[in-house]
Structure 1
Amino acid sequence: MTVESYHRAFGVYGICLQNRKLLVIKKNIGPYINRYDLPGGKLEDGESLLEGMHREFFEETGFYVKVKKNLGVADFILPWKWRKITHVHHIAVFYLVQLTRGGFNDPEQFEGQDSNGALWFPIDEITAENASPLVLKAIEWFETRKLGMDVHRFEQWEVKSKG
């Protein structure tokens, strides 16, 4: 019998929608590899939520943003085999953001960089097969204006191989 062990990931994420397209990144590591994800990520030591939001968004997309609203927090649990870990418990703080300046860039690649570039992706083409749970939650928020309080469990989650 396998004992479950969890990796807790906490991060801040920006939701930006224009003309029914969501600004997403192409994920290149972790449980969302080869899927679209929201720009954002974990905080650095001593960094506030908003400082982290601004830094992560710029690092992954090339855009500076104005944070318009804190939408709330959601958490997701899904299987992920990594080191001695069997599951990830991802806690995400969502912000509605507006682009202020900048432009798409190729993200600087460094250890821990999980973005392989950003793009506008039509929300009508987002599915559970091509997107992270965070992107799915962002679309749900746009449709309902609610995040909900229940944990979202993805028991059948498939981590896509690197091709």
Structure 2
Amino acid sequence: MTDIPQRPLIGIGTIVLRDTPGAVEVLLIRRGTAPEIGRWSLPGGKQDFGEGVRDAARREVLEETGIAVEIQALLDVVDMLPSPANGDRHYTLINFRARPVGGTLQAGDDAMDARWVPLTDLDDYNLWVETRRVIELAARHKS
């Protein structure tokens, strides 16, 4: 029997911000697959083998929301470590800030919903504390 070493999974998240009259909005998706099915989150997912992280970020946003983006900056890296709340899951989440450059908003791939949410309404979306933190970080550093 071979012991397979446990390793963290690499995940990509993208904070897509846009200005509208009277509000800054962030693009959120409602997860359609486990883990955290039904929870609101950032567009994102796993990096494919042989794919650059920025390419993965652009692909995941387009697949889940129909929105094409320009990556502006590497924003932050978040660790989700195994714990009673997370179970055995260990993710390293690479987060980018981006701006929309085209497309039509439509939930797709493994998102059950996608929408633009004013930053002032984030309390209504039960976001993971780290998701909320990186959204606020992106908003502070928006160019």
Fold agreement, TM-score > 0.5? yes
Structure 1: gaps (5+ residues): 1-5, 81-85, 146-163
Does structure 1 conserve the Cα–Cα contact (< 8 Å) formed by 2:80 and 2:92? yes
Matched, 1:69 2:65: no
Q: Which protein has the bigger helix share?
A: 2
Structure 2: gaps (5+ residues): 1-5
Tell me how large the CA RMSD over aligned residues is.
2.4
1:134 CA displacement: 4.5
- Letter in structure 2 aligned against 1:124: T
1:99 CA displacement: 0.7
Q: When the two structures are superposed, what TM-score results if normalisation uses the length of structure 2? A: 0.76
Q: When the two structures are superposed, what TM-score results if normalisation uses the length of structure 1? A: 0.68
SS in 2 for 1:32: coil
Distance 1:63 1:143 in 2: 19
How many residue pairs were aligned? 130
Distance 2:102 2:56 in 1: 18
- Letter in structure 2 aligned against 1:28: G
**Pair 1:48–1:33, CA change in 2 (3 A):** same
Q: Which residue of 2 aligns with 1:116?
A: 112
The counterpart of 1:34, out of the listed 33, 38, 42, is 38
How is 1:97-116 mapped onto 2 (pairs within 5 angstroms)?
97-108=98-109, 113=110, 115-116=111-112
Distance 1:64 1:129 in 2: 23
Identity %: 25
Does structure 2 conserve the Cα–Cα contact (< 8 Å) formed by 1:64 and 1:101? yes
Does structure 2 conserve the Cα–Cα contact (< 8 Å) formed by 1:7 and 1:88? no
Distance 1:65 1:8 in 2: 27
Matched, 1:12 2:16: no
Distance 2:124 2:8 in 1: 22
Q: Which residue of 2 aligns with 1:150?
A: none
Matched, 1:131 2:127: yes
- Letter in structure 1 aligned against 2:134: A
**Pair 1:136–1:106, CA change in 2 (3 A):** closer
1:117 CA displacement: 2.5
Does structure 1 conserve the Cα–Cα contact (< 8 Å) formed by 2:75 and 2:138? no
Distance 2:100 2:131 in 1: 18
Q: Which residue of 2 aligns with 1:83?
A: none
